[in-house]
Amino acid sequence: MKSMATIAMLLALCGTAVAEEVTTEIKVKGMTCGSCVAAVHKALTRTKGVKSAEVSLEKNMAKVVYEDTQAKESDLREAIKKAGFKAEPAS
């Protein structure tokens, strides 16, 4: 019985990935006003794994904090593109 509990616990732990918060910056092209900023912010914050997003019209940039086990930077760029804007890595 004890070994069955140990095996069950090990199986449960194997499927659990440790999430790490990642911060990235993405260039956003095509924003012209506050409504554009709001649309990009909404698209990013609705993306699974995103913890926070700051979008700057002046810098044409989005700074996003997300969990790397739930999202990738390419997911964030895709969300921006679906909102109607161009997105590319900041560097």
Query: Which residues 6+ apart lie within 8 Å of 67 measured at CB?
Result: 19, 20, 21, 22, 49, 51
**pLDDT number for residue 18:** 77
Above 70 in pLDDT, residue 16?
Answer: no
Per-residue pLDDT tens over the stretch 49-72: 999 999 999 999 999 999 999 999
Model pTM score: 0.80
Above 80 in pLDDT, residue 81?
Answer: yes
Residue in this structure with the two tokens 């390419």, named with its chain if needed:
74
What's the Rg (C-alpha) of the chain?
Answer: 18
Give the pLDDT band (50/70/90) at residue 73. Answer: very high
